[in-house]
Amino acid sequence: MTRPVATCPNCGARVEFRWSSAVQTVCPFCRSILVRQDVDLTKVGTVADLPPSSSPIQLGTAGRYHQKAFEVVGRIVYEWEQGGWNEWHVVFNDSTGGWLSDAEAEYAVSFLAADSLARPAEGQADLGRRFTWQGKGYQVTAVTRARYRGVEGDLPFEYWDKEEVRFVDLRSDDGGFATLDYSEATPLLFLGEFVEFKNLTLTNLRQFEGW
């Protein structure tokens, strides 16, 4: 399938979208953050140098989740006092999108939940609290204040002017995973599950010396 192509308004380079519905992307040449408005691209910022990645996943990595093929098309990078992690934006072969969280060799696949699902205010999601979504019970296991470090590739929304973000991670007894993202006025809720790296059958991975 032919991928949409545009011209970077900052440097004039050819910008190819990995995902036709992308709202934001990054010019691979000048690192400008570009927001898509109809057929035009607008520069809204510049990506600072991203920290070195120890993850084998990269843009263009492909895999399978529940028998559906996907490709990694974007990334958001966060750091906190004990390390950092990646949120990889993945697009499936039916054009739906999701997220592959990659934190210290622990992986989870999740999807943005419907706005109709209730979510607690920022001060109401403390450690140990329990919540129920879509008939499944979750317990808060971690509350993290993380520093936004940058983005690359295609994203389904504008995300470039953040500083510090509060995340609440929750788990269910059967391996379910949930995250509350308080970077917006209305918290974002993501629901999914933990996955084994080998079960994702990933290809086009980053190669490290000695592998």
Return the structure tokens found at 18: 């990995």
Report pLDDT digits (tens) over 184-211: 889 999 999 999 999 999 999 998 765 5
CA angle 186/79/45 to nearest 5° reads 70
Whether 170 has a pLDDT exceeding 90, the answer reads yes
Report pLDDT digits (tens) over 55-90: 999 999 999 999 999 999 999 999 988 888 999 999
Q: What is the DSSP letter of 124?
A: G
The neighbour count for residue 148, using CB atoms within 10 Å, is: 17
Domain boundaries, the chain: 5-46, 62-200
Whether 1 has a pLDDT exceeding 60, the answer reads no
Q: What is the pTM of this model?
A: 0.90
Give the span between the Cα atoms of 8 and 179, in whole angstroms. Answer: 34
Q: Which segment, 100-104, 121-125, 129-133, is predicted with the most confidence on average?
A: 129-133
Q: Report pLDDT for 160.
A: 77
Whether 134 has a pLDDT exceeding 90, the answer reads yes
